[in-house]
Amino acid sequence: MSDNTVLIRNLSDHESSEVRLLGWIEKRRSSGKIGFLEVRDGSGTVQAVISRAKVDEATWQAVQDVTQESTVAVVGTVAADARAPSGFELHATSVTILSLTEDYPITPKDHGTAFLMEHRHLWLRSSRQRAILRVRSEVSHAIRDFYSERDFVLIDSPILTPAACEGTSTLFATDYFGEPAFLSQSGQLYLEPAAAAFGKVYCFGPTFRAEKSKTRRHLTEFWMVEPEVAFLEFPGLCDLAEEFITYLVARVLDRCAEPLKRLERDQSKLESVQGPFPRMRYREAITTLADHGKILEFGDDFGAEEETILANLHDRPLMITHYPAKAKAFYMQPDAEDEDLALALDVIAPEGYGEIVGGSQRVHDHELLLRRIKQHDLPEKAFQWYLDVRKYGSFPHSGFGMGLERFVAWMTGIPHLRESIPYPRMLHKIYP
Ligand code: 4AD
């Protein structure tokens, strides 16, 4: 690689100098005398202008021959140009084709989503997909920063597990040397013992659910960030979720201006995401839904439609708490004032993005937890180690999980989760 190779993002540092770019051709236009190549190198896109009178025959021929998504080396002088999106263009003196692409399947014309999903590995190159995945990358960094700034210890929970965390109906089973094993639905159960070691812990990694239904909000493989805090009780948990979400939204607004602009995201909608978030108990939510013509029984879970009705009443995330214990997971602490209620929290994003956070205070009484495991028909033996957390120095504790893809879909304003992860896994979809 020659010394003057630079990234497009850094062109402003090289005005009037000769530089070399390495990248892919997004578009090519040429008249008899002048050619235009749009070159992308991952850091940005710039137009190279080639004047036939000023270049040798090989370069002019390359400009004629080059095709969409071929790789090229372009040498030229960096020139300021107020019309260019980056503020610069390149007056090229030499163009070399490094690899000529033939029959690139994704052309500038419109393609259906099914076709694009089959070509996900190539679709990633498009400006819209790049914008979404840049936001995802920023959010992932922000998640780690949030917890590390607050002295949480990162605990990597296992992917292969002997038991269910979030119900047995969405387990992916596999064979583990003759024993049944399951892909993790949540790292939570493994975080709770670690909270006794470090006080404040979190995990952030892929989780798996064999979701049998096709919806725009469900993936079978998704990333979840889960904090778990010793001696944190329910009100503190709600505060932590609120602080976390406002931190992430502010970070996206601060660092993702360019991708959000590319996605035509209405940023004013994100700017209103400030605390305090509205908080509503489940019973109140049921009443509100009835006022909007949706009659639910105590104990019914909210579907996408109910969530959207409730969320549309607010311009910021809505926290719903105190759910019927029967509808929730076995590990949730009952409300001391009403044993039928669980100290559970769901956060519903505005604009119809649905539940982004689910969490609770955990049962810390050994006998109660054992009863719950039995009531839920869970294999007691597989949970012995989890019960130990209550046996040896029990402590109240709480935590939640936030799905990265749901959060990114909300930030980027995309309607379907499938574009919020590089390689989505959905019902019957595992290629590429
Ligand atoms: O509410 P869930 O099921 O909570 C748990 O798994 C807890 N064990 C977390 C904890 O307390 N540590 O899931 C948490 C979040 C949801 O709010 C949603 O954002 C996301 O995970 N999620 C999904 N995202 C994409 N596709 C799916 N199939 C999802 N299921 C849950």
CATH, residue 278 = 3.30.930.10
Asked whether residue 239 falls in the same domain as residue 278, the answer is yes
What tokens appear for 375 in the block?
A: 């009531």
* CA 358–ligand 1 middle distance (angstroms): 6
- Residue 50: which domain range? 8-99
Structure tokens at 236: 């503190």
CATH code: domain of residue 33: 2.40.50.140
Identify the band that residue 165 occupies on the pLDDT scale cut at 50, 70 and 90: confident
Confidence of residue 100 (pLDDT cuts 50, 70, 90): very high
Taking residues 176-205, what's their average pLDDT?
97
Whether 43 and 183 map to the same domain: the answer is: no
Nearest-CA residue for ligand 1 atom 2 is 358
Q: What torsion, rounded to 10 degrees, do the Cα atoms 254, 256, 257, 263 define? A: -150
- Token reading at 111: 């393609």
Q: Is 224 in the pocket of ligand 1 (CB under 6 A)?
A: yes
Residue from 169, 224, 228, 410 to probe ligand 1 pocket by mutation (most atoms less than 8 Å from CB): 224
Q: What is the pLDDT of residues 108-148, one digit of tens each?
A: 889 999 999 999 999 999 999 999 999 999 999 999 999 99
| CA dist., res. 21 & res. 46, Å (int) | 10
Check residue 85 and give its pLDDT. 84
Does any domain span residue 382?
yes
Residue 320 has pLDDT above 60, yes or no: yes
Ligand 1 atom 1: residue of nearest CA: 358
Nearest Cα neighbor of 424 from 245, 170, 206 is 206
191 CA closest ligand 1 atom index: 12
Would you say the pTM of this structure is higher than 0.85? yes
Nearest to 95 by CA among 118, 73, 125, 67: 73
Q: Are residues 77 and 135 in the same domain?
A: no
The atom number, within ligand 1, closest to the CA of 209 reads 28
What would the pLDDT profile of 218-262 be if each residue is shown by its tens digit? Answer: 999 999 999 999 999 999 999 999 999 999 999 999 999 999 999
Residue 109 belongs to some domain of the structure: no
Does residue 267 sit in the same domain as residue 373? yes
The CA 200 to ligand 1 mean position distance, Å, reads 20
d(CA 254, CA 276): 20
pLDDT value of residue 167? 83
Q: Is the dihedral of CA 200, 204, 209, 215 positive or negative?
A: positive
Please identify, among 42, 65, 99, the residue that sits at the C-terminal boundary of a domain: 99
| CA of 188, closest atom in ligand 1 | 12
Q: Determine what percent of the chain is predicted with pLDDT higher than 90.
A: 95
Number of domain units in the chain: 2
- CA distance between the termini of the chain: 32
Task: Using DSSP bridges, classify how beta strands 318-324 and 279-281 pair: parallel, antiparallel or unpaired.
Answer: parallel
Report the nearest atom of ligand 1 relative to the CA of 185: 6
Q: With pLDDT > 70 as the criterion, what percentage of the chain qualifies?
A: 100
Q: Are residues 67 and 214 in the same domain?
A: no
Measured between alpha carbons, how far is 118 from 15 in angstroms, rounded to an integer?
41
Same domain, 367 and 279: yes
Ligand 1 atom 30 nearest Cα:
218
Same domain, 73 and 129: no
- Asked if residue 293 is part of any domain, the answer here is yes
Same domain? For 93 and 134 the reply is no
186 lines ligand 1 (CB under 6 A): yes
CB count in 10 Å sphere of residue 359: 25
Asked if 234 and 174 touch (Cβ cutoff 8 Å), the reply is: no
**56-65: long-range pairs with CB below 8 Å, 24+:** 56/94, 59/92, 59/93, 59/94, 59/95, 59/96, 60/35, 62/95, 62/96, 62/97, 63/28, 63/30, 63/35, 63/37, 63/95, 64/30, 64/35, 65/97, 65/100
Residue 114 forms part of a structural domain:
no
Cα of 262 from ligand 1 centre, angstroms: 29
Atom in ligand 1 nearest the alpha carbon of residue 357: 17
Six-digit token pair at 102? 């033939």
Is 432 within the bounds of a domain? Answer: no
Residues 87, 128, single domain; the answer is: no
Cα-to-centroid distance, 241 and ligand 1 (Å):
14
On average, the pLDDT of the chain sits at: 96
In a domain, 105, yes or no: no
If asked whether residues 184 and 41 sit together in one domain, one would say no
State if residue 400 touches ligand 1 by the CB under 6 angstroms criterion: yes
Which atom of ligand 1 lies at the shortest distance from residue 227's CA?
Answer: 12
| 1 pLDDT higher than 60 | no
* Residue 2 falls inside a structural domain: no
Q: Is 412 in the pocket of ligand 1 (CB under 6 A)?
A: no
Please tell me the distance between residue 264's alpha carbon and the centre of ligand 1 in angstroms. 28
Q: Would you say the CB of residue 227 lies under 6 angstroms from ligand 1?
A: no
Let me know if residue 428 belongs to a domain: no
Q: How confident is the model at residue 2 (pLDDT cuts 50, 70, 90)?
A: low
Cβ–Cβ < 8 Å for 211, 416:
no
pLDDT, tens digit, for every residue of 204-221?
999 999 999 889 999 999
Q: According to the model, what pLDDT value does residue 213 have? A: 85
Mean pLDDT within 300-327: 95
Model pLDDT for residues 366-399, shown as the tens digit of each residue:
999 999 999 999 999 989 999 999 999 999 999 9
392/296 same-domain check: yes
- Same domain, yes or no: 62 and 143: no
CA distances from 137 to 131, 352, 366, 408 (A): 10, 23, 40, 9
pLDDT band with cut points at 50, 70 and 90 for residue 3: confident
